[in-house]
Amino acid sequence: MRKPEILSPAGNLEKLKFAIEYGADAVYLGGKLFNLRERAGNFSVEEMAEGIEYAHLRGKRVYVTLNAFARNRDFEELKSYVKEIALLKPDALIVSDLGVLSLVREIAPELDIHISTQANVTNYKVVEILKDLAVKRVVLARELSIPEIAEIKEKVPDVELEVFVHGAMCMAYSGRCLLSDYLAYRASNKGACSQSCRWKYYIVEEKRPGELYEIEEDGKGTYIFNSKDLCALPVLPELVRAGVDSFKIEGRVKSAYYVAVVTDVYRKAVDLLFESPQEFEDFLPFLMGELKKVSHRPYTLGFLVPENEEIKQHYESSSYIRDYQFLAFYNGRSWTVRNRFSVGEEVELFSPGAKVQKTKVKAILLQDSAESIEEVHPNYEVNISFAEPVRVTPYTILRKKKS
C-alpha cells in the first residue's frame, strides 16, 4: 500500500509554513482571483512565489486552487492569471470547471490538473472520463462512503484520489448552496459564502406574517442546517486500504494553530499506521484528544461509513467548541504573542513531531530588554522562562486550557 499524502490548508504564508513544519507533505492555497475561499488571507503572486519556494526547498508540494466557476467574461483575465501562476511552477492546479481545465491545457500543458470536490465526482465513470482528459487527481465528493471510494480506485487505479478527512462540512450537496447568494448576496461558488446555514432559523406560517415559531428537534435547538465537523481519524485504516492517495484537511480560513495541530495529528496517525499499525488503536484516544484542543464543532464520520446513523447536523448552537487557547509561538528568536497570558499560568508546549510538554510560565521578558513583565498582550515579542526544563524549537506553540 502506498502511504497517503497529508494535504494541509494554507490560507496565507504563515499558515503554509506551520503546515509544512508540522508534517504536511503538500499544501493547497489560493491566489487573489478565481478561488473559493475569498475570506482566507490568500496569496499575492509574490507571496505565492515565496510559498512555493519555501515548500520546494523542503521537498514539499504546493497545489494552487483555481476552482471558481467561470463566466464568459472571466476568460481574458483567467488567461493572464494562469500564465502568471505557471511561471511559479506549482505542483498542480485544482479546478472545477471544464472550461478552465481546457484553458489551462492550452496555456500551461506542463501543469498537473486536480479536479476539485466542487465538481461533484461521485462515480468511477466520471473518473474514467477525467482520466481521458489527462487529469492526474480527483478530489472526490464528500458524500461518498469508503466502499464507494474503494470501488472507484479499483476501477480506475491510475488516477489519484483525494478525500477530505477533517474539517467543516457544508450542509448542501458538495457545497452547491444558494442560501448565501439568496440571503446575503454573497455567492458560495465564487468563494464568498456567508455561512447562512449556521444562522438560527424560525418558521413563519403563510397567513401569519411576523409571527415567528421556533423550530425544535427533540427540544435541542433551532440550528437545522448547521453541520457537524468531519473527523475521519478513527477510519483512517479503512481509507488507506481503500487506496486513497491524499488525505485532505479543510481549513484555509482557520488559524495557524488549527493548521499546526490537525496536521501534526494526521501526520502521526499515518506514520503509525505504516510503521507500527498495532499501536494505532492504542494511540487513537490521545490523537482524538489533541483534535479536541482546536476550535471545532462536534465531530462526525459524515458519509464515510454507510451505516453511520449519528446525526450529522448540530442543533444546539452554531458556535465552535474552544477549550484551548493559542497563546504564542516561537519564531526562532523570541515568542510572538497571539493572546493575553500571565506569569504563573499553567501552559502546554506543542512542537512539531514532539510530545506535549506541560509546565508553568516562570518569567516574561520583553524582547531585547531586561524588563520583566507580569502579563503580555497580542503582538508582543517576548522571551519566556518556564518552571521546568523544556525543549523549544522554531514553530513551537504555547497554549493553555481555558478555565
Contact assessment for residue 236 and residue 165, using Cβ atoms and an 8 Å cutoff: yes
**Looking at residue 188, what DSSP letter applies?**
G
pTM for the complete prediction?
Answer: 0.87
Same domain, 343 and 392: yes
Q: Assess if residue 258 is contained within a domain.
A: yes
Q: Assess if residue 53 is contained within a domain.
A: yes
b/e map of 375-397 (b: 16 or more CB within 10 Å)?
ebeeebbbbbebeeeeeeeebbb
Nearest alpha carbon to residue 142 among 161, 124, 169, 123: 169
Output the DSSP codes for 153-185: HHHSTTSEEEEEEEEE--SSGGG---HHHHHHS
Same domain, 28 and 116: yes
Same domain, 192 and 252: no
Same domain, 71 and 149: yes
Same domain, 250 and 349: no
Same domain, 192 and 268: no
Q: What CATH number does residue 383 fall under?
A: 2.40.30.10
Q: What CATH number does residue 91 fall under?
A: 3.20.20.70
Same domain, 391 and 275: no
Q: Assess if residue 184 is contained within a domain.
A: yes
Same domain, 150 and 247: yes
Q: Assess if residue 307 is contained within a domain.
A: no
Q: Assess if residue 308 is contained within a domain.
A: no
Same domain, 66 and 120: yes
Q: Assess if residue 318 is contained within a domain.
A: no
Output the DSSP codes for 83-144: HHHHTT--SEEEE--HHHHHHHHHH-TTS-EEE-GGG---SHHHHHHHHHTT--EEE--TT-
b/e map of 180-201 (b: 16 or more CB within 10 Å)?
bbeeeebbbbbbbbbbbbbeee
Domain total of the chain: 3
Same domain, 147 and 253: yes
Cα-based angle 58, 55, 63 (whole degrees, multiple of 5): 140
Same domain, 270 and 386: no
Q: Assess if residue 305 is contained within a domain.
A: no
Domain ranges, residue 393: 325-401
User: What tens-digit pLDDT sequence spans the chain (403 residues)?
Assistant: 789 999 999 999 999 999 999 999 999 999 987 655 555 568 999 999 999 999 999 999 999 999 888 889 999 999 999 999 999 999 999 999 999 999 999 999 999 999 999 899 999 999 999 999 999 999 999 999 999 999 999 999 999 999 999 998 876 656 666 666 656 666 665 556 767 766 766 677 777 777 766 665 545 455 667 788 999 999 999 999 999 999 999 999 899 999 999 999 999 999 999 999 989 999 999 999 999 999 998 899 989 998 776 666 665 666 788 999 999 999 999 999 999 999 999 999 999 989 999 999 999 999 877 789 999 999 999 999 999 999 999 999 999 999 8
Same domain, 72 and 118: yes
